Amino acid sequence: MPGSQTSNLELRTAIPPCPHFGRCGGCQLQHLTYPAQIRNKATQLRALFETAGLTLPEQQLHPSPPLVYRNRIRFTINEIDGQLRVGYIRNLANRGAGSSDAHPEHTKQYVFPDAGLEGEASLKPVSIPHGIFFLPIRECPIAAPILWRTTEAILALLNQSHSAWLRNSHHRLDQLELFTTADESHLQLTLYLRTDAKTLPAKLTTVFTALCEALRTSVPELSGAGILLLPLLSKQRSRRAEQPRPGPIWGAPGLNYTVAPLEPRTLNLEPQTYWVPRSAFFQINRFLLPELLDIVTANRSGNLAWDLYAGVGLFSRALAAHFTQVTSVEAAEPAFTALAATKLPNLRAIQATTLDFLRAAVLQRDRPSLIVLDPPRSGAGSEVCSLLARIAAPTLVYVSCSPETLPADLQTLAVSGYTIAELHLFDLFPQTTHIETVTILTRKK
């Protein structure tokens, strides 16, 4: 009936909470109500599994507060009309978010105006790398409030120091990254600077120190800051392709991030505190972390557990309370250094890729009763999954941030005898199309 269709539509559509929705490209689902967003993601996940021929158990959904959930945010910085602004970059050709898919042959660069974008004719040229398009923003509703408050404060200070930060031929500000604890009590700041110099002049280091001291008067939660150096010119503006060099630092090099247990408190899961260096990876949804930690680690115990792609030890620390031995594998710095510094006698940190670790492990006799893996967006891959199948741990917990690569990995594991016992959809990224899952796989001995 027409009436019921209209009612259905009204239940699904919503007024986007962000004035930049559509032009930004980063939050693609703000036009839907939050329940509709969750249903859409569950439907998409089910379709991907069914296409792969996998038997799908009932999905367990873990929604998040839909706004102010991010504990970390990273902006691009650009100069517009003599003032530094923050915003997001994207490729105009595909009208979507992204910073690494630009075509080097494009020679014109544009900025989206604050309002009234009706077409490409309203774009204005600015000086940014090839094929990259910049949208200055006035707010970001998915970020924890302290992150935007700090952004406004630092922009005001930077724009007061024109001679140091604007129109410098040897170095220019490129990005701002902010990271806060779940309760917003401590904050870390990173400025990314593009430069052709090997080291920064002492004067700029002095200016940076003064900037941090001044910022702390308005943002007392600021506990540390640093500058990372990027190449002055880059044809491929990609976080994976560009390896920053360390520059000046101020204050603490990281923060202690506490993940509280769920309430009512899980019987065998206590609060966990992690040392997170400024540039190390850490999950960004400050509200869902307790629930994620609970599903992955609670009510699991035994002699040996492996935590692969361990990062700073999000899962390792909780597992160490209930396993005789935990082996944590991480290749990247500075996450590994933080992991190795964990003062737990039964936690063994190994700096290696997961693939190299497993190639050696299949030749040894140790067999874990639990393996947790949390690979990057590219997935674990066929060789890693084949090696996991040979090791044949009775339980695998696969944390995935890519439902597109997950089914192929699960197919490899299913052929070797693993069964999907549970499938959890964690909405770590509300308002966006991103899906995080936790799949629990078991096999008979």
* pLDDT value of residue 290: 94
How many Cα atoms within 13 Å fall on the side-chain side of residue 267? 3
pLDDT at 161 over 90: no
* pLDDT value of residue 13: 77
Cβ count near 403 (within 10 Å): 19
Model confidence over 241-256: pLDDT tens digits? Answer: 678 899 999 999 999 9
* pLDDT value of residue 162: 67
pLDDT at 375 over 60: yes
pTM over 0.85, yes/no = yes
Q: Could you tell me if 238 and 274 lie in one domain?
A: no
Q: Could you tell me if 192 and 294 lie in one domain?
A: no
Q: Could you tell me if 95 and 236 lie in one domain?
A: yes
Asked if the peptide bond before residue 403 counts as cis, ω within 30 degrees of 0, the response is no
Task: Name residue 74's amino acid.
Answer: R
For β-strands 370-373 and 419-426, DSSP reports them as unpaired
Q: Could you tell me if 213 and 263 lie in one domain?
A: no
Query: How large a percentage of the chain has pLDDT more than 70?
Result: 83
pLDDT at 297 over 70: yes
The whole-number average pLDDT for the span 262-289 is 83
Answer with the one of 225, 252, 279 that is the final residue of a domain.
252
Answer with the one of 197, 231, 252 that is the final residue of a domain.
252
Task: Report the distance separating Cα 186 and Cα 219, nearest Å.
Answer: 10
Residue 263 lies in a domain: yes
**Token couple for 287:** 């509200």
pLDDT at 106 over 50: no
**Token couple for 45:** 């996940």
**Token couple for 115:** 């309002």
User: 199 pairs with which residues across the strands?
Assistant: none
CATH number of the domain enclosing 109: 2.40.50.1070
* pLDDT value of residue 56: 83
* pLDDT value of residue 129: 52
Model confidence over 188-207: pLDDT tens digits? Answer: 999 999 888 888 888 889 99
Answer with the one of 207, 224, 252 that is the final residue of a domain.
252
Residue 64 lies in a domain: no
Confidence of residue 115 (pLDDT cuts 50, 70, 90): very low
Confidence of residue 312 (pLDDT cuts 50, 70, 90): very high
Return the sign of the alpha-carbon dihedral for residues 294, 370, 59, 57: negative
Of 325, 368, 327, 385, the residue nearest 351 (C-alpha): 327
* pLDDT value of residue 120: 35
User: 285 pairs with which residues across the strands?
Assistant: 70
Of 291, 193, 306, the residue nearest 242 (C-alpha): 193
Q: Could you tell me if 228 and 348 lie in one domain?
A: no
Q: Determine contact, residues 329/357, Cβ cutoff 8 Å.
A: yes
- The pLDDT mean for the chain works out to 85
Residue keyed to tokens 């899961």: 269
**Token couple for 213:** 């001291």
Residue 232 lies in a domain: yes
Confidence of residue 26 (pLDDT cuts 50, 70, 90): confident
Q: Could you tell me if 332 and 284 lie in one domain?
A: yes
Residue 143 DSSP symbol: B
**DSSP string covering 388-416:** HHHHT-SEEEEEES-TTTHHHHHHHHHHT
**Token couple for 428:** 């770590």
Residue 365 DSSP symbol: S
**Token couple for 286:** 């400050």
Task: Name residue 238's amino acid.
Answer: S
The whole domain housing 385 covers 257-442
The whole-number average pLDDT for the span 106-118 is 40
CATH number of the domain enclosing 394: 3.40.50.150
CA dihedral 307, 60, 378, 366 (to 10 degrees): 20
pLDDT at 284 over 70: yes
Q: How far is CA 277 from CA 77, 179, 337, 338, 341, in A?
A: 23, 10, 9, 7, 11
Task: Report the distance separating Cα 332 and Cα 329, nearest Å.
Answer: 10
pLDDT at 118 over 70: no
Residue 320 lies in a domain: yes
Task: Name residue 86's amino acid.
Answer: V
Q: Could you tell me if 119 and 244 lie in one domain?
A: yes
